[in-house]
Amino acid sequence: MRGLSRQLRGLLATGGALAALPGTVGAQTTEMVQCLKDPSSIDCLAVPGGTRAPPPQWSLGVSGGIAPRDGGPTGSYESLTLLRQLGRSYVQLGATHYYSQLDSGVPTVSSTYGVGTIGFGGNYNNWVLDTYISYGRQNFGPVRFGNLSRPSTNITNSAYWAGGVSFGRMMAVSPRFVITPTASATYAWSRLLRPTLGSEDFNSSEPTWTAAARLRLDWVPGHNRKSYIGLGAGLLWSNNATSLIAGSSGWGGIGQTGDKDTMDALTSSHVHDVWFEIGPHASLAVTRSLRVEAIANRSFGLISGNGSTVTLGLRHSF
């Protein structure tokens, strides 16, 4: 039985709604959009040129996308973010809604997440820092067997907790190109509903650590240098790339054993994995206050199955 989709873990493990472009560096994005100082200043190394007008202090972003998995279901998600700039730092609030159908062989369960996030970070002499904490609920739909369905006989929802930190360095390699290596670590916890072909379902606790090393290249075109287009790549590791029931038999690796005192909770076996991700991104200035943002991402080498994410969004500064 496959666990929580890696695309969702990737979105929520970076705060989900924490950034308009999932998986990018929020402090870097903020600085590239709002840094309007002298290009010779190290504070503005990555964004040469620009005017001297006071930068906006607030921004509101909306985005949505899909997360298809090879040979599996396609998830969809929407997010809303509100950011307040505080000098070189920022505080951001976000809300993310995600729908996915978890793959578990024949029996499947749809799952809907609602997650709130608060983030803090900044650009400090081109050292970028992003942190976040998230809390939400995962609601399980009916158990489906082809065209048939029934209510779950176990839990119908679960709490979701997550937190993480990312740290990196912006470096201008030319007046129009910037590279940013970053390192990040995240932790997330939720429960996973494990349906069976019988009348008794189970659940398991799913704590997940994820570490990543990423490299981002951005091109800043145009006279005003208000837009950027780039490519990001990352090497990731997780202690819970997929989740199995150790030493059990039955359909989908689920045996007919459970702890009645914990609502039929099973102890799952978490499989470690290392994989690679790559994808383009862009943030294009339409007007002085409105931007169109997009990102696509593709994973390679995931033991639970490779997948993609595609996101489009709008951001208004005021």
Q: Which stretch of DSSP H or E encloses residue 26? A: helix 26-34
Domain of 41, in residue numbers: 6-317
Q: Worst-scoring range by mean pLDDT, 23-37, 163-177, 304-318? A: 23-37
Instruction: Kindly provide the b/e burial profile for residues 61-96, where b requires at least 16 CB atoms within 10 angstroms of the residue's own CB.
Output: bebebebebeebbebebbbbbebebeebebebebbb
Residue 251 covered by a domain: yes
Residue 299 covered by a domain: yes
| 265-266/202-219 β-pairing | parallel
- The total number of residues written for the chain in this structure: 318
As a whole number, the mean pLDDT across the chain is 78
Q: What is the DSSP letter of 56?
A: P
Give the model confidence (pLDDT) of 238-271 as tens digits. 988 776 665 443 333 333 333 333 445 556 677 7
Dig out the tokens for 128 from the structure.
């970028």
pLDDT at 104 over 90: no
Residue 73 covered by a domain: yes
Choose the most confident range, by mean pLDDT, from 30-44, 146-160, 274-288.
274-288
Residue 47 covered by a domain: yes
pLDDT above 70 covers a percentage of the chain that reads: 72
Q: Worst-scoring range by mean pLDDT, 48-62, 97-111, 145-159, 244-258? A: 244-258
What's the whole-model pTM score? 0.78
Which has the closest alpha carbon to 252: 317, 185, 300, 192?
Answer: 192
Domain count, the chain: 1
Residue 270 covered by a domain: yes
Domain with residue 179: its CATH number is: 2.40.128.130
What residue ranges in 175-302 does DSSP mark as E strands? 177-194, 202-219, 228-245, 265-266, 268-285, 290-300
Q: Which stretch of DSSP H or E encloses residue 140? A: strand 127-145
Q: Worst-scoring range by mean pLDDT, 3-12, 61-70, 174-183? A: 3-12
Instruction: Please answer whether residues 98 and 8 qualify as being in contact, where contact means their C-beta atoms are separated by less than 8 angstroms.
Output: yes
Q: What is the pLDDT of residue 11?
A: 54
Please, which residues bridge with residue 145 across strands? 107, 148
pLDDT at 283 over 60: yes
One DSSP character per residue, 71-126 reads: TS-EEEEEEEEEEEEETTEEEEEEEEEEEEEE--SSEEEEEEEEEEEEEEEEEETT
Give the model confidence (pLDDT) of 10-41 as tens digits. 555 443 433 333 333 454 444 444 443 333 33
210 or 246, higher pLDDT: 210
| Rounded Cα gap, residues 246 and 287, in angstroms | 56
Q: Distance of alpha carbon 318 from its chain centroid, rounded?
A: 26
Dig out the tokens for 282 from the structure.
């862009």
Residue 1 covered by a domain: no
Residue 203 covered by a domain: yes
Residue 235 covered by a domain: yes
Helix (H, G, I), strand (E, B), or coil: what is residue 55? coil
